[in-house]
Each structure stands twice: as structure tokens, then as C-alpha cells.
Structure 1
Amino acid sequence: MEKKLKRTINDKMIAGVCGGLAKYLGWDADKLRIVYVLVSILSAAFPGLLVYLILWFIMPEETELG
């Protein structure tokens, strides 16, 4: 089965971006969110909010069927 990067509709807090990334990578969504926020805060070279917004608009949302 081919994996596709999509925003989740069930495992989301804001837009489903981190939930979709976690599902694609096979990671726990909560742990990915924590790592993403920490990297965004601690690294001046990583524009976390901008990347999140871009992914929000670029990543398609998954359908009810998966």
C-alpha cells in the first residue's frame, strides 16, 4: 500500500498537519508535536510557524475512507 502525506481529520489539534506527518512516518502524534514545538522554539534557523502554515495549505486533507 502506498503511503501518502495527508492532514488527518481525526488526530488533529489545529489543522491536522502534525497528525498527518506522524501517521506518514509511523510515529506517535503527541511526541511529534512536542518535538516540533521544541525545535521551533529552540532554533532560530527553523521557522516552525511558517513551515506549519505552508504545510497546512499544501497538504491535502484525508477523506473519510482514509
Structure 2
Amino acid sequence: MSRMEKKLYLSDTNKIIGGVCGGIGEYLGIDPTVIRLIWAALSVGTAFVGGVVLYIIAMFIIPRRS
């Protein structure tokens, strides 16, 4: 029995801005809306700096599917 390797990618189908939350949701098997709500709470809790900066960094670090 072979193990399928699970990889994190930006979502092409579940994206609003860059596909970060959609990709994380697909990777974890969670509805991307839940990830977006958590990300929004993080952003509000850090006066938008932490959430926005992390999102931009994630857009550049997480690869697109080829």
C-alpha cells in the first residue's frame, strides 16, 4: 500500500485574493470559509498588520500547482 504525499498548494478554484485560505482549507480538509474567518480574526486581533503580512508572505511561499 503506497502512501500518498499530501502537499500544500495555492488553490486555483477556491480563491478570493491569492488562494492561500482555499489552499490551506483543501490541505486540511476544512471548508475554506472557516480558514478565512480564522484569518480575519487574526487580522483584526493584530490590527490587520499580522494577518495581512502573513497572507502576503504565504502568497509568495506557497507554490501553485503545475
Give the TM-score normalised by structure 1: 0.84
* Aligned-pair CA distance for 1:2: 0.9
Quick one: distance in 2 between partners of 1:17 and 1:8? 7
Residue 54 of structure 1 corresponds to: 57
RMSD: 1.4
The structure that has the greater radius of gyration is 2
The answer as to 2:42 corresponding to 1:39 is yes
Residue 22 of structure 2 corresponds to: 19
Higher RCO structure (Cα 8 Å, ≥6 apart): 1
Quick one: distance in 1 between partners of 2:51 and 2:45? 10
Quick one: distance in 2 between partners of 1:33 and 1:49? 12
Structure 1: which 5+ residue stretches go unaligned?
A: none
Residue 4 of structure 1 corresponds to: 7
**Aligned-pair identity (%):** 40
Structure 2: which 5+ residue stretches go unaligned?
A: none
* Aligned-pair CA distance for 1:56: 0.2
